[in-house]
Structure 1
Amino acid sequence: MIFIFQFTRIPGTLIGSAIGDAMGAPFEGSENIAHIPNRMIGGGPFQARRGEYTDDTLQTIALAETLVTCRGFSTIDFLSRLVKMFRMHPEYFGRTSSTVLLKIIEGIPPEKATERSGRTNGAVMRGSPIGIFYRPDQVLLMSRIASETTHGHPVAVACSGVVNQMISILCRGGSRQEAFFTALESCEVDEVRRRIALLGGVPLIPSIDALDTTHAAITCFMECGTFKEMILRAISLGGDTDTTAAICGALGGAYHGLQGIPGEWIADLEGAQRLLMLEEEVWNAGQR
């Protein structure tokens, strides 16, 4: 398959993801969210500051820094960054990543430490730099390699690949429909392909399961017109709000660009300038 895109870059992927993360964090674990403020607020399970993002974005930054430093994905470099982060803030990590990182700390080789039974959403939430860096014809392979550092279940791997391929196409000027249908066509896991294809035709379940989260995030992206609408819808689902909104925000940022993201949300976000610069570094170091 040959991809031809226009290369117009107005960064929005990483900052879109971080905004979704920071907007959703105060509502994590909630149900029936009737009102979401138009500006960021603090609070939530980790008592986050207003505009502070969670481990979803911290792991995304670690992956982006690996790609820039190594000029491509390096398992050893990325895991070393995750281990350092885990030692400082173990409470940030989900059960799958925690299990893997504890094994690595104990000296188990990375290729034997990965969890192949758990299908949680950790690899999907952090994967957007892979989509920025790699072209659509390379992104599925690299998504699998990056995902399997911690999440080796075929569903988790496939979900990461679908989201990252959509981001890769969107970053390179592809349309929303082109990104969606190309990613579906390329997905080799029937369960993932069939569920995501239904979009809002079936209930959205904002759990920590990789497919539940991916289906919900992509549906909000595909069915909402503006970046603001898609983030508010993702959060309104409740459950794992920071992760669903972070994945949706990465897709929305890749599609709408910086100019499509509410300026007040960018102003509220801690470290916004750093994320903008980091995305440019990933893009400049990556494949065209």
Structure 2
Amino acid sequence: MPDPVPLSSRVRGALYGLAVCDALGGPVEFKPRGSFKPVTRMLPNDNFDLPPGCFTDDTSMTLCLAQSFLDCGGQSNIVDQVKKYISWWRDGYLSSVGRCFDIGVSTKCALETWDNLLRLDHDASPTDEAHRAILKRITRSFGKDEFCGNGSLMRVLPAALIAVSELDAVQLARESSLPTHPHPRCVHACMIYAALVLQTLNGASKTELALSLAESVKEIPSNVSDTPIEPVLAERLGKYQTLEDWEKTPAESIRSTGYVVDTLEASLWAFFNSDTFDEAATLAVNLGYDADTVGAICGGLAGAYHGFEAIPESWLRDMKKTDLLDEVAQKILEHRNTTV
């Protein structure tokens, strides 16, 4: 029986799903759960004085990563990724409003470090060895427990969209976290999420995804990572062995903070507890707190699962800078057609 959702719709749905839910959740970012009227439509983002439909840093950095993969032939180039992030941060590259109006504390600190080191490196004729030395320094500085935010998880979606296999997706996801969030907890969260999205693109059911997730929490392939699954992440997600385990978990026990483990759990909880794209989106963003990022991560997976056509037209009409999304989605599909 043919897949009812074409791959092209899944890829476009994933990218748009992330951006739509990012824009949907942005206006209630930072707000405690239950302190605002439930979000069901695009609203102005009063946090940054923006009109409805403006995606935030989650989508801009996702587009930067996607463009880097495309420019590098589907391969990972950490320095190219970083340069695109810096261009977004400094000059508004791939922003919904032409400027960077929101950036995570850890991400900004890491990009400042990269920017300074790359400037010095540029003056001294850069080499691969010099770039590896910079990455090693970044890992020393930002590989501590206090840097376990969701800044790399929120942008990792293109690793699955561009990949030719699940192993490729997981490897691209692993490397994409390293420039700003090298802690194994962040790296492994990205790998787990990318694997789920890739399986979704291939038509996996929610039951299959939940079982696959339970297995991946036990072990990450040794040819991708030298370390076992990060213990704190494994403990949190290890309690979910089946789809039913997700469905019986009450919202009250779900935390939607910027901590990477909270964010991944909250995003997956909203996805597994919904039957439609818009239900997943509203479940995610109405958790409050880091609503845009929880929404974006859930939206990327839900968009891949349900397809582009499942995204409400009323939300799409309000979206700004959709030409950026269309261009990247088309390039990804063209790349896949030449490599798969």
TM-score where L is the length of structure 1:
0.91
Query: Kindly tell me: are residues 220 and 160 of structure 1, through their superposed partners in 2, closer, same or farther at Cα, counting changes over 3 Å?
Result: same
Q: Which amino acid aligns with 1:113?
A: I
Matched, 1:110 2:135: yes
Quote how far apart the aligned CAs of 1:273 are.
4.1
Matched residue of 1:201: which SS?
coil
Matched, 1:232 2:295: no
User: What are structure 2's unaligned runs of at least 5 residues?
Assistant: 92-98, 119-133, 218-228, 241-245
The separation in 1 between residues aligned to 2:69 and 2:114, in whole angstroms, is 21
Describe the superposition over 1:22-69 as per-residue Cα deviations: whole angstroms up to 9, x where unpaired. Answer: 000000111114523432111232122211110111000101111111
User: What's 2:60 paired with?
Assistant: 58
The separation in 2 between residues aligned to 1:71 and 1:180, in whole angstroms, is 32
Query: Kindly tell me: are residues 137 and 180 of structure 1, through their superposed partners in 2, closer, same or farther at Cα, counting changes over 3 Å?
Result: farther
The separation in 2 between residues aligned to 1:113 and 1:158, in whole angstroms, is 18
What is the percent sequence identity of the aligned residues?
26
Matched, 1:68 2:67: no
Select the residue among 249, 254, 268 that pairs with 1:201.
Answer: 249
Query: Kindly tell me: are residues 15 and 90 of structure 1, through their superposed partners in 2, closer, same or farther at Cα, counting changes over 3 Å?
Result: closer
User: What's 2:149 paired with?
Assistant: 120
Count matched residues: 284
Contact 1:206–1:212 (CA under 8 A) maintained in structure 2: yes
Select the residue among 71, 78, 86 that pairs with 1:83.
Answer: 86
User: What's 2:129 paired with?
Assistant: none
User: What's 1:245 paired with?
Assistant: 295
Contact 2:25–2:285 (CA under 8 A) maintained in structure 1: yes
Select the residue among 156, 164, 174 that pairs with 2:186.
Answer: 156
User: What are structure 1's unaligned runs of at least 5 residues?
Assistant: none
Q: Which amino acid aligns with 2:210?
A: F
List, as ranges, runs of 4+ consecutive aligned residues in structure 1 with deviation greater than 6 Å.
none
Q: Which amino acid aligns with 1:78?
A: Q
Q: Which amino acid aligns with 1:22?
A: A
Query: Kindly tell me: are residues 283 and 116 of structure 1, through their superposed partners in 2, closer, same or farther at Cα, counting changes over 3 Å?
Result: farther
Larger Rg, first or second structure (1 or 2): 2
Moved more, 49-58 or 79-88: 79-88
Q: Which amino acid aligns with 1:253?
A: G
User: What's 1:136 paired with?
Assistant: 166
The separation in 1 between residues aligned to 2:53 and 2:176, in whole angstroms, is 28
Matched residue of 2:7: which SS?
coil
Q: Which amino acid aligns with 1:144?
A: R
Quote how far apart the aligned CAs of 1:91 are.
5.2
TM-score where L is the length of structure 2:
0.78
User: What's 2:7 paired with?
Assistant: 8
The separation in 2 between residues aligned to 1:276 and 1:20, in whole angstroms, is 16
Contact 2:148–2:260 (CA under 8 A) maintained in structure 1: yes
Q: Which amino acid aligns with 2:249?
A: G
Q: Which amino acid aligns with 1:207?
A: T
